[in-house]
Amino acid sequence: MRQWLRERLGFCAVRRRGEEGGLRWDVGLGPHACGEYSIAVAQANSVLEDQSQVVASPSATFVGVYDGHGGPEASRFVRKHLVPHINQFAMEEGGLSAEVIRKAFAATEEGFVHLVKQAMGSRPQIASVGTCCLFGAVSRGTLYVANLGDSRAVLGRRGRDGGVVAERLSTDHNVAVEEVRKEVEALHPDDAHIVMCCRGVWRIKGIIQVSRSIGDVYLKKPEIRQAKYFPVFLKRPVISAEPSIVVRKLRPEDLFLIFASDGLWEQLSDEDAVNIVSRSPRAGVAKRLVDAALVEAARKKEMRRNELHDVPRGLRRQFHDDITVVVVYLDQHSSSRSTHNVVSSHSTAPPLDIFSALDHPSSSLDEYTS
């Protein structure tokens, strides 16, 4: 199995030349356990804060989209540590489960908090760095989606009329959503200003939009949030690292998955994205989604798409956020027969023992952006 993974690493790590002055990259098409996948990224910030990965073995496919804020350190940390933690706990508990994923998220958070405490003396600003965390797994006929923040996973499935229907699988933990505001307010009944509208944008304590993340330690740990560098005095943590997790059996009508940072969803609806994927050739399909988002971002500023091409990183953040998209096709789950073949052919393998030989995951875009 390790030789198989090395071969896939060689395929997936082929560098695609960046476009738009080095601000766009893509992996046009690659194989995974039950189909093919495509990745694309467009940078807006001075330093790319999004990170992503696809890790594939013959029996499982893992996808991660990590949308950092305040800097890239948290998203890079998650990309390096989350999947190995999932592998560790899956081996200990006999397979992948929601509880395994929950433990892996907690261990990743704990590791980053430890790093922050060690670095506070020389880099106090690291306590304000965080990341949204969207993780997906397809393993033995089951789909798992776990999320912190407002990156999003959307399923494209065949509808009864033969068309393709968009089904959102993740929860947006963003206080722009009324239900999330109510959730945060209910957790802090003694704080009338826990959620504030600042210049038309809802934020927790006027600081942050997402209610769940990895990192943002100064909003979680009393000993850090009261430091002189972060004079935010709170009675208790105002955000958490508890993921929302969805587990469902794959069905014959399930066609593909779109995992993306909110940079995409700020520009495109779930239905728009699913329609683009369903009507496009597979090779480069993630890039087509990114291009559609950039067209919309330019339109909102009354610009042409080619005018946006000349806007440099950093300044481009005024037009759109970093955008990361991973599209995962579910070919071998398009019929019950092929689903059975995928599950049974690997049912006797050690559970998820696919990472012990890896220093870093396949299809990471770190080498393109560092």
Q: How confident is the model over 288-300, as pLDDT tens digits?
A: 999 999 999 999 9
DSSP-H helix ranges across 140-246: 178-187, 222-225
Q: Would you state the pLDDT for residue 322?
A: 96
For residue 19, name the pLDDT band (cuts at 50, 70, 90): low
For 328, left (φ over 0), alpha (ψ -120 to 50), or beta? beta
**The predicted structure's pLDDT at residue 349:** 23
If one counts every other C-beta atom within 10 angstroms of the C-beta of residue 316, the result is: 23
Give tens-digit pLDDT for 234-293: 778 999 999 999 999 999 999 999 999 999 999 999 999 999 999 999 999 999 999 999
Tell me the per-residue pLDDT of 56-113, one tens digit each, with 9 for 90 and over: 888 899 999 999 999 999 999 999 999 999 999 999 999 999 999 999 999 999 999 9
Give the number of domains in the chain.
Answer: 1
pLDDT at 23: 83
Tokens of 163: 């068309």
Single pTM value for the model: 0.85
Domain assignment present for 179: no
Instruction: Please report which confidence band the pLDDT of residue 230 belongs to, taking 50, 70 and 90 as the band edges.
Output: confident
Q: How far is CA 161 from CA 158, 165, 313, 330, 348, in A?
A: 8, 10, 44, 20, 39
In a domain, 199, yes or no: no
Residue 214 placed within a domain: no
For residue 35, tell me if it sits in a domain.
yes
Q: Residue 13: exposed, middle, or buried by beta-carbon count in 10 A (0-12, 13-18, 19+)?
A: middle
The answer to whether position 317 is within a domain reads yes
118-163 pLDDT, tens digit each: 998 899 999 999 999 999 999 999 999 999 999 999 999 999 888 9
pLDDT recorded at residue 18: 58
pLDDT of residue 162: 84
What is the per-residue pLDDT for 111?
Answer: 97
Q: What number is the average pLDDT over the span 336-352?
A: 27
On whether residue 6 sits in a domain, the answer given is: no
DSSP bridge pairs for 164: 158
Those residues whose C-beta lies under 8 Å from the C-beta of residue 197, and which sit 6 or more positions away, are 203
Is pLDDT larger for residue 33 or for residue 361? 33
Strand 35-42 relative to strand 24-32: parallel, antiparallel, unpaired?
antiparallel
The pLDDT of residue 33 is 84
Instruction: Please give the C-alpha separations between residue 309 and each of 22, 110, 295, 365, in angstroms, as whole numbers.
Output: 11, 40, 10, 21
Predicted pLDDT at 226: 62
Arithmetic mean of pLDDT, 2-26? 50
Mean model confidence pLDDT for the chain: 84
Looking at residue 154, its pLDDT comes to 98
**What's residue 370's pLDDT?**
40
Residue 121 is predicted with a pLDDT of 86
- List beta partners, residue 242: none
339 CB burial (10 A radius; 0-12, 13-18, 19+): buried
pLDDT of residue 236: 85
Assess if residue 7 is contained within a domain: no
Domain that holds residue 287: 27-167+242-357
Relative orientation angle of helices 270-279 and 285-300, to the nearest 10 degrees: 140
Mean pLDDT of 181-208: 92
> Could you tell me if 37 and 327 are in contact, meaning their C-beta atoms sit under 8 angstroms apart?
yes
Residue 41 covered by a domain: yes
Nearest-Å Rg of the Cα atoms of the chain is: 20
Query: Which domain CATH number covers 114?
Result: 3.60.40.10
